[in-house]
Amino acid sequence: MTVALERNKRKVLSKECKRWMTKAKIGAIVKTRDYASFIGSISAVRFVCKDTGLQMNTLDALLDRIVRKYGWDGEFAMNYGVFKQVSYWESGLRKEERRDLEIFSVPDAVLTTDAAPLACGAILEVNGTCFHYHQPFDRRFISQSSNFKETPTVLLSLNLF
């Protein structure tokens, strides 16, 4: 199965990228909501354009800083950094790229983990059979963040199973 953008959608997005590149070149003042709308429209085609993860992360990080500083109803001045990122997207949209989807077989085993404030747990499903694991955290883990607890949870459950 192959995924590609429609020609009309590609042209519309390319024109919109050029419009935002012009705004970034001259340092125009734009609304935060308009910029967020633009980022949403190009992130919708993120799958088709290859190797765009870093550019999308940069644009998202800029949007986060703008929202924190000016709010959703605020205005800000565009800069050259936005121009470089948007020009990358525009060049990617000009290419007629198609993306092939790979169909994978059903996995033999699925591991699901979760870290709560005081304990962690895991469920391993192998060919329809479920194995459960539940363990309270040591004291040194209780004050840590949830993201910090996820890695030990996965490692503990893999080690146990």
Q: What integer is the mean pLDDT of 135-143?
A: 74
Please check the confidence at residue 97 and state whether its pLDDT lies above 70.
no
Instruction: Locate the domains of the chain by residue range.
Output: 2-100, 109-160
Please check the confidence at residue 47 and state whether its pLDDT lies above 70.
no
Cα–Cα distance, 125 to 115 (Å, whole number): 18
The answer to whether the beta carbons of residues 118 and 137 sit under 8 Å apart is yes
| 110-133 residue pLDDT tens | 888 888 878 888 888 988 888 888
Looking at residue 53, its pLDDT comes to: 63
Please check the confidence at residue 5 and state whether its pLDDT lies above 80.
no
| Confidence category of residue 82, pLDDT binned at 50, 70, 90 | confident
Please check the confidence at residue 8 and state whether its pLDDT lies above 70.
yes
The answer to whether the beta carbons of residues 83 and 25 sit under 8 Å apart is yes
Average pLDDT, the chain: 79
Q: Which residues of 102-124 are buried (b: 16+ CB within 10 A; e: fewer)?
A: eeeeeeeeebebebeeeebbbbb
| 53-67 residue pLDDT tens | 666 777 788 888 888
Please check the confidence at residue 93 and state whether its pLDDT lies above 80.
no
Q: What integer is the mean pLDDT of 13-42?
A: 86
- Which residue in the block uniquely carries the two structure tokens 């993201």? 147
